[in-house]
Structure 1
C-alpha cells in the first residue's frame, strides 16, 4: 500500500505561512483536497511531490522522504494546475516523450497503454492545440500515468471544464482509484464533493479544517448557520410566521427587507415553502447572503 503522509508539516515564505502544522494521510482510493483559492492546496501538493521542502515536519511517500529523493518519482505522477504542454505536439508524441524520460524498457507500449486508460487513442495523432480543455487534461494525465505510478496528484484538474468534461474526468479518476492507486485531487468547487466516493481533506488558510468521509463533510457544510434575504408578497407577516420556528435563530425586517438567520439549513429549507403556502404568502425571491466559499470553509475551521 502506497500512502502519502504529512506529519506536522509547515511551509512558510519569510513571514507568510502557506501551510501550518498539517498532519494527514492519503491512502489508496480517491481523495479530494478542498478549500478556497489561496488556502494552501497547491503548496500541500508540491510538498507531497517533492517540489518544496517542508519548513518543519515531514512529508513521506511510501514511508520515504519526498524532498530530495528522486526515487519517489518511480511511484508518483503529478498533473500541475498550470498547463505547459507544447501545442504543436500530438498526444502520442507528448506521452511517448514522457515514457522515454522515465527510461521505460518499452516506451511505445507504455504510451499506448496510458493513452488507452484516458481514452485518447482516437485523437492521439492530432496536435494538442486542436484539443478541448478536457482532452488536454486527459493527455496530461496520460503523461503522468505512463510509468504506472501508484500515486497520482492532480492540482485543480476540473478548472475550465464544462459539466460533461468534468463528469468524464471524475469517472476516469474513480476508475483508476478502483485499480488500487492513491489519487489526490485539489478543488475549490463544493459540488465536486458530491461526486466523491472516498475521503475529503479541507484546507483553510493553510490549516487542515476538516477530514473524513465526504458525507460527513457535506453535512458539516449543509448544517452550518445560514443567512437568507427573502422577498415575498407580505414580508411583515412572513417574519411573524418564521420567528417561532425552531430552525430560525433570528429574523430582522429593515426598510421592508426580510433577513432570516437559519440555524439548520435543511430543516429551514424544507419548512419555508410550506409555511408560506399555509399562510397565503407568495415567495418571490430567496437569496443566500453568506454563500461565499471562504465563509463556508471558515465555518468548518470553527467547528
Structure 2
C-alpha cells in the first residue's frame, strides 16, 4: 500500500501561478480530483507523476520524491489526458511494449492479464488507429496497469467511453481501490466522481478548496442553511411544531411533504425525532436535499 503526499506545493510558469501552496495526502482507495477548467488539476497530476518539478514544496510517493526519480515508475501508473499512443501498433503490441519496458519476468502473461481487465482481448490484434476513443482509453488504462502499480493516476479517464464501458471501468477502479491501490482520477463530470468515490480533492484557482468526504464537507459549511425533505403522518402539525425550533430557519409545506431549512445540521437532526415524538407524529422520510456533490461543488465555487 502506497501514500502520495504533497506538502506546500506550488507551481508557476513565469508570472502565472498554476498551483498555489497545496498540501494533500492520498491514502489507499479511490479519490476524485475536482475543479473547473484551468484550476490546476493536470498540473497537480503531472507533479505527482514526476513530469513537472514543483516550484516550491515537495511531492513524494512513500517518502520518495517524484521529480527526477525514475524508480517511482515501478509502482506508479499514469493515464494522461493527452493521448500518446502509436496508431500503427495493435493494442497487444502497445501494452506488451510497456510490459517489456517495466522488465517484467513474463511480459506476455502480464499483457494478457491487463487487456482482460479492461475487456480489450477481442480487439487486441487490431491497430490502435482503427479504435474508437473509448477503446483507445481502455488500451491506455491496460498499459498503465500492466505492471500492477500501487499508485494509479488518471486524468479524465472516462472520456469517449460509452455507458457500459464507463460502468465497467468504474467497477474495475472500485475493485483496485478495495484491494489497497491508491487511485486518483480527475473528472469534470460530477456524477462520475459521486458514483466512484466519496473522497474528493477540490481545486479552485490553483488552491485546495476542500478535501475529504464531500458529505462531511457540506456539513461543515455552516454559513449555508441545510435543506431537508421531510415526510410524516401529519406534515402541517409537524411544520407548526418545528417553527419554534432554534435550528430551523425556514419551512415550506408542499404536496409531498416539507422542505425544511436548518442553520445547524446536528441540532436539527437531533431535535426532529424529539419534536415528532412529543407531538405523536410518525416520521416517514428525512433526506438531506443538498448534499449531492454537485451542490457542494457549486457552493465551493461561489465561496
* 1:190 and 2:190 correspond: yes
Q: What residue is the counterpart of 1:209 in the other structure? A: 209
For the residue of structure 2 that corresponds to 1:83, the secondary structure is coil
Deviation per residue, 1:266-300 (Å, 9 max, x gap): x87x959879xxxxxxxxxxxxxxxxx8x974731
CA contact (8 A) 1:3 1:61 kept: yes
Deviation per residue, 1:28-47 (Å, 9 max, x gap): 11110011111100000001
Q: Pick closer, same or farther for the CA change 1:155–1:45 going to 2, 3 Å.
A: same
- The farther-off stretch of 191-200 and 206-215 is 191-200
Q: Pick closer, same or farther for the CA change 1:20–1:141 going to 2, 3 Å.
A: same
Q: What residue is the counterpart of 1:149 in the other structure? A: 149
Task: Please list every run of at least 4 consecutive aligned residues from structure 1 whose deviation after the TM superposition is greater than 6 angstroms.
Answer: 218-221, 272-275
In structure 1, list runs of 5 or more residues that go unmatched. 226-245, 247-262, 276-292
In structure 2, list runs of 5 or more residues that go unmatched. 226-242, 244-248, 259-293
Q: Pick closer, same or farther for the CA change 1:53–1:123 going to 2, 3 Å.
A: same
Q: What residue is the counterpart of 1:176 in the other structure? A: 176
Q: How does 1:1-303 map to 2 (within 5 A)?
A: 1-217=1-217, 271=254, 297=297, 299-300=299-300
Distance, in Å, in 2 between the alignment partners of 1:217 and 1:82 is 31
- The farther-off stretch of 198-207 and 14-23 is 198-207
The TM-score with structure 1 as length reference comes to 0.73
Q: RMSD of aligned C-alpha atoms?
A: 2.8
Aligned length: 246
Q: Pick closer, same or farther for the CA change 1:152–1:272 going to 2, 3 Å.
A: farther
Q: Pick closer, same or farther for the CA change 1:101–1:136 going to 2, 3 Å.
A: same
Q: Pick closer, same or farther for the CA change 1:90–1:272 going to 2, 3 Å.
A: farther
1:161 Cα offset (Å): 2.8
